[in-house]
């Protein structure tokens, strides 16, 4: 039997402009007293985007290259639904970068476990 987790939105969705340079760190904060445990990351662009998440002042997002690693999360292209990832509790900081010379936007939504 599969375990199912139901998520609910727990704060405003933040739109982050992405370019070939890492974005300025933005802070996502919950609404009310409930602790954030997750975030929904959505990339609707036709190119990949790397995202870095930290408790405060996230460092520059970096796309990994062949033979090199990165601590950033890479979001696929034209995502039909968000990727849900665990984040530091309460508020958290996010940076993002696009691949190549592409520009666009991604969306970050604070989420909490419904149970």
Residue 13 has pLDDT above 90, yes or no: yes
Is 107 part of a structural domain of the chain?
yes
- State how far the Cα of 66 lies from the Cα of 30, in Å rounded to an integer: 37
Q: Tell me the pLDDT tens digit for each residue of 69-111.
A: 888 999 999 999 999 999 988 889 999 999 889 999 999 999 8
Q: Tell me the pLDDT tens digit for each residue of 86-95.
A: 998 888 999 9
Vertex 56 angle, CA 52 and 58, to 5°: 25
Number of domains, the chain:
1
Is 1 part of a structural domain of the chain?
no
Structure tokens at 78: 């034209």
Structure tokens at 33: 């007293």
What CATH number is associated with residue 28? 2.60.120
> What residue numbers bound the domain in which 34 lies?
7-113
Band of pLDDT at residue 2, cut at 50, 70 and 90: low
Contacts of residue 25, defined as CB under 8 A and 6 or more positions apart, other chains included, come to 54, 57, 58, 93, 94, 95
């Amino acid at each position: 039997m599969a375990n199912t987790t139901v998520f609910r939105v727990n704060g405003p969705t933040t739109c982050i402009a992405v370019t070939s340079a890492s974005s300025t760190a933005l802070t996502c904060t919950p609404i009310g007293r409930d602790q954030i445990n997750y975030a929904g990351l959505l990339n609707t662009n036709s190119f990949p985007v790397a995202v870095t998440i930290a408790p405060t002042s996230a460092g520059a997002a970096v796309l990994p290259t062949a033979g090199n690693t990165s601590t950033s999360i890479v979001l696929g292209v034209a995502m039909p639904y968000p990727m849900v990832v665990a984040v530091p509790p309460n508020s958290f900081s996010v940076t993002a970068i696009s691949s190549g010379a592409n520009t666009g936007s991604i969306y970050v939504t604070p989420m909490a476990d419904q149970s």
